Amino acid sequence: MESDMMGKKTEKSFRGILLGLTGASMVLGVILLTVGSVVVSGYSVYLDFITGRYLESAVFILVMGIVVVTVSAIGFYAALKSHYCMMTTFLIIMVLAILCELIAAVTTFALNGEKSHEMGMRKKLKESLDMYGSPTSPQQTQSWDLIQTELHCCGLNDVNDYSRSSFTNQTGYLPESCCGPLQLDKFGDPEKCRPDTPSRHKAGCVIALKSLLVRKVGVVGAMAVIVATVQITIIVGASVLVSKWKVPGQCYPCY
């Protein structure tokens, strides 16, 4: 009688630990989902200038977050009901998810070392800069105004890139987005942005955008590695506990 009570108490303790582990896995999935969503949202501003690989890596992390949350919910239910087959399925899928996360992390970190992506970005920036101010390409003008305002940069490499643009040749001054706050003249109108304007952005947009991408890639890759590492601990712990369960008579192909 006493041994039966001890057995039930031990089983209840195992179930509580498993619920905690699968719940923690669900939280990690939410973190992946959140990070992926934030980075994808951040990339959307620069889609006209960056190669698709940057966006794809962030979308992959987002999708993995959805998968981990869904599978962890299955694991949580399996722990709650002490369902051996469902818990085994949860563990198998989570192992595959960890492998995918580690592959995504390696691929994401590799983006920083690939010159082809930087060259592609530079080419897109140059082509769009040549169309700045053109009445036939208002989207390019808006994109450049946005990137120069957001990243506090001006031109491709520096302000001299605008010396060859039709916009500067026609107007005689730089885009307002090349400058920070502009002083007002005696009539209350903002001054024009020129190369000698004190608030002009000094950095080129290639360097500024590259720095932004390096930071975002680092966040995505590091988060994937951290989450995968914690998930390995969760899976090992859950596997040890599940191994103490009684294997059901029929559960093909779980054993």
- Summarised one tens digit per residue, pLDDT across range 7-17 is 455 666 767 77
Residues with Cβ within 8 Å of 171's Cβ and at least 6 positions away in sequence, in order, are 133
**pLDDT computed for residue 229 by the predictor:** 85
Instruction: Summarize pLDDT for 20-71 with one digit per residue, the tens.
Output: 888 888 888 898 888 888 888 777 777 667 766 677 777 888 888 888 888 8
More confident residue, 109 or 93: 93
More confident residue, 96 or 133: 96
Cα distances (Å, whole numbers) of residue 157 to 125, 198, 209, 234:
10, 18, 11, 48
- How sure is the predictor about 3, in pLDDT bands with cuts at 50, 70 and 90? very low
pTM summary value: 0.69
Percent of the chain, pLDDT > 70?
A: 83
Beta-bridge mates of residue 200: 179
- How sure is the predictor about 6, in pLDDT bands with cuts at 50, 70 and 90? very low
Instruction: Summarize pLDDT for 173-228 with one digit per residue, the tens.
Output: 888 888 888 777 666 677 888 888 888 888 888 888 888 888 887 888 888 888 88
Contact 143, 149 (CB under 8 A): no
DSSP letters spanning 24-69: HHHHHHHHHHHHHHHHHHHHHTTTTTS-HHHHHHHHHHHHHHHHHH
* Average pLDDT of the residues of the chain: 78
More confident residue, 94 or 242: 94
Q: Which residue has the tokens 């869904």?
A: 70
CA distance 10 to 27: 26
Sort residue 190 into left (φ over 0), alpha (ψ -120 to 50) or beta.
Answer: beta
Contact 154, 200 (CB under 8 A): yes
**pLDDT computed for residue 48 by the predictor:** 67
